[in-house]
Amino acid sequence: MRNDTIYACDAFAFIRQDMQRHHGDPDRVFVIGESAGAFVSRFAVAAAHSRKLRALYRLPDPLLKCRGVVYFSGMFYLNRNDPVGMVYRKDVYGRHLADRQFMQYLDPDDPKINRLLPPVYLTSSRGDFLRNYTLQYANTLKAQGHPCKLWYAHDRKDLTHAFPSLMPSLPESKDILHRIHRWMEQI
């Protein structure tokens, strides 16, 4: 987890340093994370907005702040004793699992971390094995008053995990990607 977050922070720094060459706008950067990438990028984006978190976790300064984040089928609740949490928790947290100081800010329901995030756009579907994580995280953000938009296909078992990124040629994927693009233009 820490190494993945370091890599994400390093990637943010590279993007910030290289964006002038491509005429990028540092005020219009969005992060899109899928599945475990949503989990890792959530913390990296929060750390990008908090010197205290970067110091606590010994993370590099990413030199980049994000305007918004998009999460396709996020693997947010690895702290649970459900099948997903039990399978992936040790792989993601590793030796830090028993370290309370390390783990204290990784709870996706923690308002201190969520306040550090820019507006959030979440997607899922009935066919997504992580749909409950996405739905709960959307409810958590809304209950905390955080700007959050959710696109959820409650009647679609055929739209599977992270379908907008894994199957971008589907008409539904094209639709949601257009919706996300419009959302990005508005914030």
- What own/partner pairs with CB < 8 Å and gap ≥ 24 does 84-92 have? 84/129, 84/130, 84/133, 88/36, 92/1, 92/4, 92/36, 92/39
Buried b / exposed e along 151-182 (16+ C-beta atoms within 10 A): bbbeeeeebebbbbbeeeeeebbeebbeebee
pLDDT in tens, 14-33: 777 788 888 888 888 899 99
Per-residue tokens: 98:
């028993």
pLDDT on residue 184: 96
User: For residues 141, 143, 145 and 149, what is the CA-based torsion angle, rounded to 10 degrees?
Assistant: 50
pLDDT on residue 1: 53
pLDDT on residue 92: 76
Q: Which domains does the chain have, with CATH numbers?
A: 2-186 (3.40.50.1820)
The residue-averaged pLDDT of 52-60 equals 79
Mean pLDDT taken over the chain: 88
Helix (H, G, I), strand (E, B) or coil at 32: strand
Between 6 and 128, name the one with better pLDDT: 128
pTM of the model: 0.89
pLDDT in tens, 125-161: 999 999 999 999 999 999 999 999 999 999 999 999 9
